[in-house]
Structure 1
């Protein structure tokens, strides 16, 4: 795919929001990032396929409606509607793609990090181009043995950027996910389970990651 004119094509990311939030909420949360970062991406925000089936943690902070990608038990080891969720994402990608990468926060990050492995195994996103890049904010690995053995049977080799919050309850699981990635880029921040603002070091790291993925896109043109 050649780029139009002399400008490099912006990497196009499908953005998957957190549990019981929405695409619009994720877009608002990413508004904390400076324009110098956001203008380098073509970001597309999708709402999860299921209306929230319970109280949202962001009630009173962000307006409804709220959505979820799938449902799970307390141990996060059994999932309901997971296959429907994968079909929903693939259908959206077929109609609105192609996409170069996935950006996810929280439940959307857990899902995003599992999709390249499931795609490689032919269990998800079989009708769309391969995912080339990942941005994972407050992510973790799936705990269900059936999903895990397929999603993480091979290391994640594509360029991936991970945000790890010092006080994030998912941090230990985010570190586990890193072990599954080949040469991941990591931004540490002092906050909890949130999309952080970028300090000087974080800004430098994300801009360097953007340069890496733009170079990879140009190689493929």
Structure 2
């Protein structure tokens, strides 16, 4: 019988299946291209599934989509509810998923999903999320001044699952992204020198990323009784 070391055990585990949510006035294709700045030995650890938001943005000269419109409260709530339903339908159809990754507005949605699921107002037809990855994200109320009604209590309790937060020194969401950290237990943070973007991973960022993925994937292999204590 071959004895596996810790690193071999991690590498032999299944990839984390992750639903990826793009930002506003963006698309699945744009987010997919943006994540290609990460090295292959990171991307190879994840099974990334990209989807377009359900609402087409008409004033762009390229295919662009959004999750909701924050300028009108009534419209915001209707669109947000439809987007959450669409995300859940996708997870049922293409899942099961282990976690969610979001960029910008998609990151704001992703960050709110675990709390919404815990409260039973979203993702009730799928397995509990095991982690979230938040790229230049914040709380939803930072977008339009108030959170959609469905997500108004998303952060009423500390989110216990592992989370990775990535934002830049020149990111216009930096202060809001820092504030969001307080809503998660022991968040992993990649703070880079750039702006509102998916950054290349320097040595420090790569270390944080791999530590996060190690923790996530190790939890998959843990027996349920042990996992509940992690």
* TM-score for the superposition, normalised by structure 2: 0.85
Asked if the contact 2:81/2:150 (under 8 Å) is kept, the reply is no
Asked if the contact 1:141/1:148 (under 8 Å) is kept, the reply is no
Asked if the contact 1:72/1:80 (under 8 Å) is kept, the reply is no
Residues 54, 69 of structure 1: alpha-carbon distance in 2 compared, 3 angstrom cutoff: same
Structure 1: segments with no counterpart, 5+ residues: 1-5
Asked if the contact 2:116/2:151 (under 8 Å) is kept, the reply is no
* TM-score for the superposition, normalised by structure 1: 0.89
- 1:49 and 1:154 map into 2 onto residues whose CA distance is 29
Q: Going by fraction, where is helix more abundant, 1 or 2?
A: 2
How far did residue 208 of structure 1 move?
1.1
Report the RMSD for the aligned CA atoms in angstroms.
Answer: 1.9
Tell me the matched-pair count.
Answer: 208
- 2:58 and 2:80 map into 1 onto residues whose CA distance is 15
Asked if the contact 2:20/2:50 (under 8 Å) is kept, the reply is yes
How far did residue 53 of structure 1 move?
3.8
Larger radius of gyration: 2
- State the partner residue of 1:41: 46
For 1:122-179, what per-residue CA distance to the aligned partner results, in whole angstroms no more than 9, with x for missing partners? 1111100001111100000011253554211111110000002101111111111101
- 1:36 and 1:156 map into 2 onto residues whose CA distance is 28
User: Which of 21, 24, 30 is residue 26 of structure 2 equivalent to?
Assistant: 21
- Structure 1 residues 87-166: aligned runs within 5 Å: 87-143=85-141, 144=146, 146-147=149-150, 149-166=152-169
How far did residue 37 of structure 1 move?
0.5
- 1:111 and 1:220 map into 2 onto residues whose CA distance is 30
Which secondary structure state, in structure 1, belongs to the residue aligned with residue 191 of structure 2? strand
- State the partner residue of 2:69: 71
User: Which of 172, 180, 185 is residue 183 of structure 2 equivalent to?
Assistant: 180
Asked if the contact 2:167/2:192 (under 8 Å) is kept, the reply is yes
- 2:103 and 2:36 map into 1 onto residues whose CA distance is 14
Which secondary structure state, in structure 2, belongs to the residue aligned with residue 71 of structure 1? coil
How far did residue 79 of structure 1 move?
4.3
User: Which of 200, 205, 208 is residue 211 of structure 2 equivalent to?
Assistant: 208
Residues 82, 15 of structure 1: alpha-carbon distance in 2 compared, 3 angstrom cutoff: same
Which secondary structure state, in structure 2, belongs to the residue aligned with residue 140 of structure 1? coil
Which secondary structure state, in structure 2, belongs to the residue aligned with residue 42 of structure 1? strand
Asked if the contact 2:121/2:150 (under 8 Å) is kept, the reply is no
- Structure 1 residues 74-85: aligned runs within 5 Å: 79-85=77-83
Which secondary structure state, in structure 1, belongs to the residue aligned with residue 83 of structure 2? helix
